[in-house]
Amino acid sequence: MLLRLVYRALWWIVAPLAVVRLWWRGRFEPGYRRHIGERFGFYSTPPYTGRPLIWVHAVSVGETRAAQPLIDALLERYPSHGVLLTHMTPTGRATGESLFGDRVVRCYLPYDMVGPIRRFLKHWRPSVGMVMETEVWPNLIFTCREGGVPLVLTNARMSARSFRRAARFGDAAKPVYGGFSRVLAQSDADAERLRMLGASDVDVMGNLKFDMTPPPALLALGARWRERFGDRKVWLAASTRDGEEAQVLQARAMLASASDVGRRSLLVLVPRHPQRFDEVAAMLEKVRLNYVRRSAWSDDDTPLPADVDVVLGDSMGEMAAYFSAVDVAFIGGSLLPLGGQNLIESCAAGTPVVFGPHMFNFTQASENALAAGAARRVSDAGELASTLADLLINDDKRLAMRTAALLFAKQHQGATARTVTALGRWLDTGFVAPQE
C-alpha cells in the first residue's frame, strides 16, 4: 500500500514534466502537441453512450499493427459492438487511423494517474479492455478493477531481462500483475514468468503478429520498387536505432570490398524513429555515400540511378513494402542491447532475416526463426558483412531461407482466433461496465 501511495505521488511530480516533454518532442513531431487534454482524461466529445465498447490499447506503431488482425476479427464477430483504440504516440495514432479509418474511435490513453483514468473510464465505459504486450501500469490496473472493467493483458510477453527487473519489487509486484482479469501470453516462457510475478488465469495463445496480413497495396508498391532497383542485390536495415547506423555503414563498406556483388548491392536504410531521419541523412553525406530519400523519390516507374548507394527510408507505414522489395533484411535494435524489433513481418514477406545478439524482446520468435532456418544471428558489423555477402552471392542459400521464412510465418498463425474466443467470456454476454 505504501509503494502504491508513493507511486501515485510521484505522478503528480512527473506530470508537469511530461507536458514539457510533449512540447519538446513536438518540435520534430507536431502530433505530440495535439490532444494534450486526452492525456489527462479530458475529451472534446460527449460521454460515449453508443454500442457496447471494446477497448484496445496499442502504444505505438508496432503494437497497432499487431492489433490489426485482432481488431478486424472482433469487428467481424461482434458487429453490435464498437471499438475504442487508444495510443500513447502520434505515430501509433496515425497508424490506427490509416488501418481502420472510421471503423473505430480513437484517443490517447491518459497517463497512469488515478483521476485521469477514472475520467477516461467514465467517459467511454468500455465493456472490456485489452492492453497489448508489455503495458503494465499499476494505477490503470487497480482503477479498472475498482471500476469493474475487465482488463486483459493481450499478446503478452515478458523477457528474462524484464522479469528480473520486475522481480526486484518482490511481493509488491503480485497485486499489480494479479490485477489483470486474464493474461493471454505469446509463449510458455512468457506465461511462466508472468505467473511467477503474480498473474493468474494465464493462457498461451501464440503471437498475434503471425496473423498480420501485409496490405496488398504495400506489397504491390514493394514489387514496383524492386523493379526500379534493377538487377543488383538489395538488403534492408530495418528499424535501426541511434548508434546502429554507424555499424550498418561499416558492414556496408566491408561488403562492398568483399566482392563485385557486394560493391553493386543497394542498401535500404530505415531508421526506427522519424525524428532521426535528418540525422541519418547527414551521416550518409558525411561518409560521402550517394543516397536518395524515399520522401523525395517519385512514385513513377523511373529506374533508380545505378550510382545510388543507399535509399533512406524516411516514410511511415511502408515497412511491408520495404520488406517485400529486398533480398535480405537486417533487423535493427539488435546490434546494441536494445532488445531488437519484430522479425515476423519480414518472414511473412518471404525475406530472409539477419539479426544481432540482442533480441531479448523477441526471444521466442527469434529462436524459432533460427531453428526453422529462416534467420541467421550475427555478433557484430564484421559478421553482418560476411553473412550478407554469403546470402547475396549464393542464390540457393537465399532461396532456401526464403522458403523457410514463409513456412515459419504460416506455421505459427492462429493466435487471433484463440484470443477472440478467450475474450468471449465478456463479449458474448453483452457485459457493460457499471456507471460511476
From CA 254, how far away is CA 381, in angstroms rounded? Answer: 9
According to the model, what pLDDT value does residue 339 have? 92
Residues shown for the chain: 436
Q: Counting beta carbons within 10 angstroms of the beta carbon of residue 27, is it exposed (0 to 12), middle (13 to 18) or buried (19 or more)?
A: exposed
Q: Do 145 and 188 reside in the same domain of the chain?
A: yes
CA distances from 251 to 43, 258, 352, 355 (A): 49, 11, 17, 13
Q: Do 197 and 301 reside in the same domain of the chain?
A: no
Q: Do 185 and 264 reside in the same domain of the chain?
A: no
Domain extent at residue 34: 28-212+414-427
Q: Do 78 and 129 reside in the same domain of the chain?
A: yes
Active site residue 135: no
Q: Do 185 and 296 reside in the same domain of the chain?
A: no
Q: Do 315 and 407 reside in the same domain of the chain?
A: yes
CA 111 to chain centre: 20
From CA 86, how far away is CA 43, in angstroms rounded? Answer: 13
pLDDT (tens digit, 9 = 90+) per residue, 68-95? 999 999 999 999 999 999 999 998 999 9
C-alpha cell at 79: 458487429
- Is 11 inside any structural domain? no
What total number of domains does the chain contain?
Answer: 2
Q: What is the mean pLDDT of the chain?
A: 92
CATH no. for residue 392? 3.40.50.2000
Q: Do 162 and 188 reside in the same domain of the chain?
A: yes
- Is 5 inside any structural domain? no
Q: Do 84 and 202 reside in the same domain of the chain?
A: yes
199-238 per-residue burial string, b: 16 or more CB within 10 A, e: under 16: beebebbbbbbbbbebbeebbebbeebeebbeeebbbbbb
- Is 436 inside any structural domain? no
Q: Do 229 and 249 reside in the same domain of the chain?
A: yes
Nearest in space to 61 (alpha carbons), one of 318, 354, 334, 406: 318
CATH no. for residue 41? 3.40.50.11720
Average pLDDT over residues 403-429: 92
- Is 408 inside any structural domain? yes
pLDDT (tens digit, 9 = 90+) per residue, 200-223? 999 999 999 999 888 888 999 999
Share of the chain above pLDDT 90, in %: 74
According to the model, what pLDDT value does residue 426 have? 86
Q: Do 252 and 185 reside in the same domain of the chain?
A: no
From CA 305, how far away is CA 139, in angstroms rounded? Answer: 55
Contact 368, 408 (CB under 8 A): yes
Does pLDDT of 431 surpass 70? Answer: no
pTM: 0.85
Q: Do 201 and 231 reside in the same domain of the chain?
A: no
According to the model, what pLDDT value does residue 176 have? 94
Average pLDDT over residues 381-393: 96
Provide the pLDDT confidence category of residue 114 given band limits of 50, 70 and 90. very high
According to the model, what pLDDT value does residue 427 have? 87
If one counts every other C-beta atom within 10 angstroms of the C-beta of residue 80, the result is 8
Determine which of 18-27, 103-112, 349-358, 397-406 has the lowest per-residue pLDDT on average.
Answer: 18-27
According to the model, what pLDDT value does residue 1 have? 67
According to the model, what pLDDT value does residue 164 have? 93
Q: Do 246 and 164 reside in the same domain of the chain?
A: no
Query: Which residue is catalytic, options 29, 38, 63, 244?
Result: 63
According to the model, what pLDDT value does residue 302 have? 86
Bridge partners, residue 130, by sequence: 56, 152
Provide the pLDDT confidence category of residue 273 given band limits of 50, 70 and 90. confident
